[in-house]
Amino acid sequence: VKRFGAVGDLPRAKDRADGLVRELTGASKLEPGSPEMQTAAERGGAVATRLSAILAGVQAGKVNTQRLAAFGTKALTSEMILPHTADLPGAAIGAVSLSACPGETESASLVLWAPAAVKGVLPTVTELKGPGGAIPATAVDLKWVKCWYQAGSAPHGVGQDRSKKVLVAELLLNDDGLVRVDLEKQQNELKLFFPAGPRYVDITDPTPPKPDWGVTYKLAEYPVKDSPKLLPADLPAEQNKQVWITVRAPVSAKSGRYTGKIRLTAGGAPLGEVSVTLDVLPFALPEPKTHYDLARDYTGSLYYWGELDPTGEGTIGYKVKSEQQFRAELQMMFAHNLVGPAMIWSPTILYKDETLFRRHLKIAREVGMSGRPLYTADSSLVGSPTEPDALRALQDNVRKAIGLAGEYGFQGVYFYGIDEATGEKLLSQKPAWQAVHEAGGKIIVSGYAGHLKAVGDILDLFNRAGDPGSENVAEWHRFGNKVWNYANPQTPVEDPEVYRRNYGLYDWRLDLDGVCTYCFMDSSGTQWNDFDCDSYRDHCLAYPTVDGVVGTLAIEGLREALDDVKYATALLTLADKLEPEGTAATRAEAKAAREWLDEVDTRQADLDAVRREMVRRIVGLKR
């Protein structure tokens, strides 16, 4: 313990170690298995574990910080890093490392910890220097990971459970103080910026708002706003504070190792630095393609409710957006590989208000979403009309919408059927679907296992609910149709690894054509309060602000899911090319790569290890 002096000013090290002995001795005398014993043992054990790791780092010469220690950790994992988490996943003291292809966005994690409170901690990043010169500091984004309380079925449940509160790591913030969390009271408060000054409001209040579904607030009524840049945050004594690091490797970056620093200060005074290593890989990623046919796109999609407010004002809610909010939300989806959202745009927009429809299309094109089909997801767009006049009117609307979308570069339009319909309600839509086809449109809708038998010949894009492992995907393809996956899970779930695992290589290997879960943002109560709805928890991969959007760890998981598919596409494309035409050794290596890719246990394997192995095989085949 005396060696802590080498770290610099780690206050009260010996006194704290002596106190730990007393605390753990006291914990051992409590009722075995009681909540009190569990809490005391966990917190004391976490401190002991952290002090031991720091001492080992000091002895190895890897600690270059004062008053606090910094650990690079595994980024996307089901092992949440909470304030008192003892075992940090993949911890490496004093260093952060990651790899990316040119043009790829990749994330890393840094955890700060101190034995005594440190106020006003601010991490900043330097440029990363390497064989291609310098990658600017602006290519690296830092966010605070905020832990807050969610309703009792968190982090993996969808349904409401007010019987308990669960602490989860979720939000990615510039202003750590935007959400204030009381660990003793298990209470969240949200900072609102009123003209008279900031004020915190309780967002763990379970009282249902009025209306009881999808309440919205005018921006002036609920002025929630994150900072445009990272602000200092306080580091409480003996608690973890996670920093999320996102690096965008420039498209022009030469391959090789780039190094830089994350510098830490408190109140402007230096606390030391952490090394950052980025390995830029010697190949670029392709767009994701399907496993069964590399000529077909594998689409990242997501149900999206956002519509432009005709008045231009916007709201705090899931539906009505200002142009600034709408653009920021589309940009977030696109940056996370969700390039073709299923837009829940009303018939008023698509069929009646051409000016408003054009505004939506224009912004989507500017974000980069054109050049592919426009996917819609409002159940009232098609319905189940059977009268000739109604069918002709539907066809007129379809032709008009296709023509307008085409002007903005969208390659056709998928019109949504009646969501999750079954039985006669499902079959009753066939005349309308046929009318849409005759007018040049296609049909998309969600549903269940029975859809293949009922409408497999006429449903162009089936968004299969739940685990698609039992779906006869090949039969859908024989009809010339496509299959996506959703609700495996829906988005109340806060676990980023679940999204990466279930919507990436698992679905790709099942020969699906893409993924589209529900949804980017939805709430049956107040958007920032997980407790004030009666049936479901909030479905949020992101949270609205007056001028933008706050992201989460969960949407990072979706980005990695689709990046995994890009790496698999690159490997399979190389194997396809080299297996028939390379040297004997190359053919054998290509065959082995294909076989390995088809045998990976996508349900259980360490996906970071799978990614590294894909990289190793791609580099080997390129040689």
Per-domain residue ranges for the chain? 68-175+226-280, 299-555
Closest CA to 462 of 482, 435, 433: 482
pLDDT at site 502: 98
Cis peptide before 347 (omega within 30 of 0): no
**Residues of the chain above pLDDT 90, percent:** 86
3-state SS, 291-335, equals CCCCCCECEEEEEECCEECCCCCCEECCCEECHHHHHHHHHHHHH
> For all residues of the chain together, what is the average pLDDT?
94
* Residue listed under structure tokens 């190895």: 60
Binned at pLDDT 50, 70 and 90, residue 28 comes out as confident
Could you tell me the CA-to-CA distances from 501 to 472, 542, 572 in Å, in that order? 21, 20, 19
Q: Give start and end residues of each alpha helix (H) in 428-479.
A: 430-438, 451-455, 473-478
For residue 4, pLDDT over 60 is answered with no
Inter-helix orientation angle 607-622/553-581, to 10°: 30
pLDDT tens sequence across 151-160: 999 999 999 9
Assign 609 to helix, strand or coil.
Answer: helix
pLDDT tens sequence across 557-609: 999 999 999 999 999 999 999 988 889 999 999 999 999 999 999 999 999 99
Count other C-beta atoms under 10 Å from residue 28's C-beta.
11
Query: Which residues on neighbouring strands pair with residue 224, listed in sequence order?
Result: 192
pLDDT at site 5: 42
In residues, how long is the chain? 623
Query: Which residues on neighbouring strands pair with residue 543, listed in sequence order?
Result: 550
pLDDT at site 2: 43
Domain 299-555 = CATH 3.20.20: yes
pLDDT at site 212: 66
b/e per residue, 135-153, with b = 16+ CB within 10 A?
beeebbbbbbbbbbbbbbb
pLDDT at site 51: 82
Domain 68-175+226-280 = CATH 3.50.50.60: no
Asked if the domains 68-175+226-280 and 299-555 are classified in one and the same CATH topology, the answer is: no
pLDDT at site 357: 98
- Rounded Cα distance, 339 and 299, in Å: 7
pLDDT at site 42: 74
Count other C-beta atoms under 10 Å from residue 131's C-beta.
11
pLDDT tens sequence across 185-228: 999 999 999 999 999 999 999 988 777 677 889 999 999 999 99
pLDDT at site 14: 58
pLDDT at site 16: 66
pLDDT tens sequence across 71-99: 999 999 999 999 999 999 999 999 999 99
Assign 564 to helix, strand or coil.
Answer: helix
For residue 8, pLDDT over 50 is answered with no
pLDDT tens sequence across 439-480: 999 999 999 999 999 999 999 999 999 999 999 999 999 999
Closest CA to 271 of 473, 385, 122, 452: 122
Closest CA to 206 of 528, 533, 523, 524: 533
pLDDT tens sequence across 37-60: 777 777 777 888 888 888 888 888
Could you tell me the CA-to-CA distances from 208 to 200, 214, 276, 537 in Å, in that order? 19, 11, 46, 12
pLDDT tens sequence across 423-444: 999 999 999 999 999 999 999 9
Minimum mean pLDDT range among 5-9, 41-45, 100-104: 5-9
pLDDT tens sequence across 223-250: 999 999 999 999 999 999 999 999 999 9
Closest CA to 233 of 181, 166, 185: 181
Amino acid at residue number 456: G
Distant-in-sequence, close-in-space partners of 471: CB < 8 Å, separation ≥ 6: 449, 452, 464, 483, 510
pLDDT tens sequence across 301-334: 999 999 999 999 999 999 999 999 999 999 999 9
Distant-in-sequence, close-in-space partners of 193: CB < 8 Å, separation ≥ 6: 223, 224, 225
b/e per residue, 593-614, with b = 16+ CB within 10 A?
bbeebeebebeeeebbebbebb
pLDDT at site 15: 63
pLDDT at site 59: 82
pLDDT tens sequence across 341-396: 999 999 999 999 999 999 999 999 999 999 999 999 999 999 999 999 999 999 99
pLDDT at site 1: 39
- Rounded Cα distance, 404 and 382, in Å: 18
Binned at pLDDT 50, 70 and 90, residue 12 comes out as low
